[in-house]
Amino acid sequence: MENSGIPGGARKLVTVVAIAALLIALHSVFSQLSAPTVYDADDTEITVSAGDSFSVKVPDDPAGGYRWIIAEPRPDPAVLKAAGTHGGTGGPPPDGTARYLAFEAVRPGRTDLRLLRCRRCGTGAADEKGARSLNFRVTVG
């Protein structure tokens, strides 16, 4: 074997570091590909596969006393299941706050998802001053 002027131990170290960097890059790519999809409030048609997880990003203003709920009529539980919420920050809305409502696609079918931003969130909440409703058609294939 030809001597390239690089000691054998250094060559092994460079090889190990290169392989580690490649594995980290691959992990990052696969994590991005398998991360749940996030839909915005404007995405009224949502199409996912059975078993997929996804979130709907809605503007959030907890200081204003409003919160987001899944409104009646609720989605078909055989098709879509709520999986919780979490807050976050990002681009729009203007103040940078958002809430992410998470869902799991259970099995193939089609259902409607209605989200309501309200304060009291009881009977007649859709008629509250400042209430806002978002409607989505969810198709699970």
H, E, C per residue of the chain:
CCCCCCCHHHHHHHHHHHHHHHHHHHHHHHHHHHCCEEEECCCCEEEECCCCEEEEEEECCHHHCCEEEECCCCCCCCCEEEEEEEEEECCCCCCCEEEEEEEEECCCEEEEEEEEEECCCCCCHHHCCCCEEEEEEEEEC
Return the pLDDT at 92: 42
Return the pLDDT at 39: 95
Backbone conformation region of residue 103, classed left if phi is above 0, alpha if psi is from -120 to 50, else beta: beta
pLDDT mean over 110-135: 91
Read off the pLDDT of residues 89-104 as tens digits, 9 standing for 90 and up. Answer: 444 444 458 889 999 9
Residue 33 has pLDDT above 90, yes or no: no
Return the pLDDT at 3: 58
Return the pLDDT at 31: 47
Read off the pLDDT of residues 61-90 as tens digits, 9 standing for 90 and up. Answer: 777 888 999 999 999 999 999 998 876 644
Q: Which of 18-22, 33-37, 65-69, 121-125 has the lowest mean pLDDT?
A: 33-37
Q: Which residue has the higher pLDDT, 35 or 124?
A: 124
